[in-house]
Amino acid sequence: MGYDLAGGLTGWDMEGFQSGGDTELWKRLGAHVVTIPTDDGGTVTGTRFSVWAPNAQAVQLIGEFNYWGGDEMYRLPGTGVWSRFIEDRGTDTLYKFRIQGPDGVWREKADPMATFCESAPSTASIVYESQYIWSDDEWIARREKAQAHQEPMSIYELHLGSWRKGLTYLELADELVEYVKWQGYTHVEFMPVSEHPFEPSWGYQVTGYFAPTSRFGRPDDFRHLVDTLHQAGIGVILDWVPGHFPKDEWALGRFDGTALYEHADPRQGEHMDWGTYIFNYGRNEVKSFLVSNALYWVSEFHIDGLRVDAVASMLYLDYSRKEGEWVPNVFGGRENLEAIDFLRYTNKHLYERHPGVLMIAEESTSFPGVTRPVHHDGLGFGFKWNMGWMNDSLRYIEEDPVNRQYNHHLMTFAMVYAYSENFILPISHDEVVHGKGSMVNKVPQDDWRKFATMRAFYAYMWSFPGKQLIFMGQEFGQRSEFSEERGLEWWVADMWGHGGLKRLFKDMNDIYRNEPALYALDSDPAGFEWIASDDAAGNVFAWVRTDGVGNKVACLFNFSAEPKNTYGIWLPQAGVWKEILNTDSPAYDGDGNFGNYGQVIAREGASPWGDGAGATVCIPPLGAIWLKYDASATAELPGDMGLA
């Protein structure tokens, strides 16, 4: 009985790969259980292994099926792709490629397209065929019609390995989903799930781009986690790392003995700071590999969005380089034109293939048009992390309250550029690692001030224009900075201060999701109006959010340690404003001594500025209040009521 030892793969199959147009490369390269015809008219089932190694002299397939001895692979003419069919082998088969480079040296490599891998320190690839049956059709149908910029988005970022140390994907599908749903977040964002060998990299140095890490279970177990989140009404964002990859000798680097995935010139092909290689975005096959990878996570694992890591490092040829250490583009500039083209291509393709998907840039410079559509000469991302807002606001809360008056601009400056992009406000893992300390310990003085300030700050964040993201542990004020070596300090989560903060997040998420004024016009200047922006001496900020169809929420903040018992404020409409949030409430471990008895009354002509509606309010020390305009209560307002 004879059959095609290349497993039926032909040069025609690789034409799109060579032109950069194959965006489903995982269906062709890698390991696939297939049934092929035999010479006698029958069929035979086994696994076809295929790999791109255009500069190799020879390639062997090694694995447990041949006692790691080596079966010759066959080169498909004109493609640089090698293939080999092995009969009667399927899921859970371990394998690698042994590649002889132009220099004659044999190197053992993991499969770049592997969909399942051994966990470190082992490095073999594993044949895997998904058997998962999804139950999230309703979620996917809703996602396709979503208008993300006009909808609520509060994101809980987490590291799967240390949220609760030791949990598997299946266990997380029970415990994590229950917790996130109770807290009320709309999305989770997983730090990179792709296989990686070095635990302290948190997944940002990927060796298996198409394989969810086997540390926590099998690929279908990860599918179950995503599916369960969707059924609970929670979206899933995945960190994606196309900016660089590690130099591990068994992985992508110098794959066929040459600079294949990376640039050969270290001025273009290496991040000296990170000790990693940079992808060659101008090579068609590399572009196909990366675009396929982005689409793979969305198509095969139903991921709702990709947060693209370190975009700035991709955009600039001189990123973190001194003069003479970089190569200008063809026009003599510093922009990486090939990377820009790649990002535009990826974003456009994913939005076309999966309407409603979220493409998010972690871009730390002022590169223009990050969230502008590709057809308007932008990069085509849906959202961008607002790093300027993050840096300024953290600098502000780190000041002693008596000194904040001299840094008032740090909390107002973000409105100068708030509508230049579609922003997400991130307080991510990057802000609580490497000696930066935890969020609660950034605030000076005693615990009363620390926790009160944290409550006020997060209320400020949740009502500021833009979507929100926090990192795990912030919701209950963990005191230690993040470490992948241990889980979160759950034993403190219900203690005084910690438990109050956790309850505040739950209530803020509930209010946020139910108040369109807080999110519907995040990307539109019509949704925001200052009502107190220049009270530096009082450390007070206040604004009104609106959805444009009558709903209004006034948000007031006092970052001084003194109460503002009779603070005069202008409000855009006369009548009753219900107090829907007070961070000083005993429910949040506040004092409960400062509030507005449930409502504030604004009257025409009572504005401190002599015109419009005005009111007198109480803003707690190191506290925040949200007031919602209640049109239905206006007609019942007694004529002799006081201002507050």
* Secondary structure (3-state) at 31: strand
Q: Is 106 within the bounds of a domain?
A: yes
Two tokens, residue 436: 């930066």
Could you write out the DSSP letters of every residue in 437-450?
--SGGGS-S-HHHH
What is the percent of the chain where pLDDT is above 90? 93
Q: Is 71 within the bounds of a domain?
A: yes
Residue of 135, 114, 136 whose CA lies nearest to 125:
114
**Confidence band, pLDDT 50/70/90 cuts, at residue 605:** confident
Catalytic residue among 111, 309, 431, 515: 309
Residue of 415, 624, 424 whose CA lies nearest to 519:
424
Helix H or strand E encompassing 173: helix 169-183
Q: What is the mean pLDDT of residues 533-553?
A: 97
Catalytic residue among 189, 362, 363, 421: 362
According to the model, what pLDDT value does residue 88 have? Answer: 86
According to the model, what pLDDT value does residue 473 have? Answer: 98
**102, 126, 150 — which closes off a domain?**
126
Parallel, antiparallel or unpaired: strands 94-100 and 125-126: antiparallel
- The answer to whether the CB of 556 falls within 8 A of the CB of 501 is no
According to the model, what pLDDT value does residue 2 have? Answer: 87
**96, 126, 156 — which closes off a domain?**
126
Note if 494 is an active site residue. no
On the question of pLDDT at 638 being above 50, the answer is no
**126, 153, 186 — which closes off a domain?**
126
Alpha carbon distances (Å) from 83 to 1, 26, 59, 104, 272: 20, 14, 9, 20, 35
**Confidence band, pLDDT 50/70/90 cuts, at residue 607:** low
Mean pLDDT of the chain: 95
According to the model, what pLDDT value does residue 90 have? Answer: 87
According to the model, what pLDDT value does residue 59 have? Answer: 98
On the question of pLDDT at 172 being above 50, the answer is yes
Q: What is the mean pLDDT of residues 324-348?
A: 96
Q: Is 97 within the bounds of a domain?
A: yes
Q: Is 396 within the bounds of a domain?
A: no
Total count of domains within the chain: 2
**Confidence band, pLDDT 50/70/90 cuts, at residue 640:** very low
Helix residue spans in 232-361 (DSSP H): 266-269, 284-300, 311-315, 337-353
pLDDT, tens digit, 9 for 90 and up, residues 213-226: 999 999 999 999 99
Q: What is the mean pLDDT of residues 429-449?
A: 95
**Confidence band, pLDDT 50/70/90 cuts, at residue 287:** very high
According to the model, what pLDDT value does residue 609 have? Answer: 55
Q: Is 230 within the bounds of a domain?
A: no
What is the rounded CA–CA span in Å between residue 160 and residue 553? Answer: 36
On the question of pLDDT at 635 being above 50, the answer is no
Note if 362 is an active site residue. yes
pLDDT, tens digit, 9 for 90 and up, residues 500-513: 999 999 999 999 99
On the question of pLDDT at 516 being above 60, the answer is yes
Q: HSE-up of 194 (CA within 13 Å, CB side)?
A: 24
What is the percent of the chain where pLDDT is above 70? 97
According to the model, what pLDDT value does residue 574 have? Answer: 93
Residue of 12, 222, 42 whose CA lies nearest to 132:
222
User: What is the domain extent for residue 583?
Assistant: 525-634
Q: What is the mean pLDDT of residues 485-489?
A: 93
What does the DSSP 8-state code read for residue 605?
T
Surface-to-core class of residue 578, CB atoms within 10 Å of its CB (0-12 exposed, 13-18 middle, 19+ buried): middle
According to the model, what pLDDT value does residue 634 have? Answer: 61
pLDDT, tens digit, 9 for 90 and up, residues 363-390: 999 999 999 999 999 999 999 999 999 9
Q: Tokens 């292994």, residue?
A: 49
What is the rounded CA–CA span in Å between residue 264 and residue 593? Answer: 66
On the question of pLDDT at 149 being above 70, the answer is yes
According to the model, what pLDDT value does residue 89 have? Answer: 87
Q: What is the mean pLDDT of residues 523-533?
A: 96
φ, ψ of residue 266 to 5 degrees: the values are -60, -20
Surface-to-core class of residue 190, CB atoms within 10 Å of its CB (0-12 exposed, 13-18 middle, 19+ buried): buried
Could you write out the DSSP letters of every residue in 271-302?
ETTTTEE-B-TTSHHHHHHHHHHHHHHHHHS-
Residue of 294, 367, 305 whose CA lies nearest to 148:
305
C-beta neighbour count of 94 within 10 angstroms: 17
| Confidence (pTM) | 0.96
Could you write out the DSSP letters of every residue in 195-231?
E-S-GGGTT-S-SEEEEE-GGG--HHHHHHHHHHHHH
Q: What is the mean pLDDT of residues 112-136?
A: 97
Q: What CATH number is associated with residue 613?
A: 2.60.40.1180
According to the model, what pLDDT value does residue 200 have? Answer: 86
What is the rounded CA–CA span in Å between residue 467 and residue 464? Answer: 8
Q: For the chain, what is the total number of helices (H) and then of strands (E)?
A: 13, 29
On the question of pLDDT at 237 being above 50, the answer is yes
pLDDT, tens digit, 9 for 90 and up, residues 42-69: 999 999 999 999 999 999 999 999 999 9
The full 3-state SS of 388-430, as one line of letters, equals HHHHHHHHHHCCCHHHHHHHCHHHHHHHHCCCCCCEEEEECHH
Q: What is the mean pLDDT of residues 477-492?
A: 95
Q: Is 253 within the bounds of a domain?
A: no
According to the model, what pLDDT value does residue 610 have? Answer: 53
Beta bridge partners of 236: 188
On the question of pLDDT at 639 being above 70, the answer is no
Greater confidence (89 vs 83) lies with: 83
User: Among 119-128, 129-138, 603-612, whose mean pLDDT is lowest?
Assistant: 603-612
What is the rounded CA–CA span in Å between residue 458 and residue 397? Answer: 11
Q: What CATH number is associated with residue 96?
A: 2.60.40.10
**Confidence band, pLDDT 50/70/90 cuts, at residue 643:** very low
Q: Is 422 within the bounds of a domain?
A: no
Q: Is 544 within the bounds of a domain?
A: yes
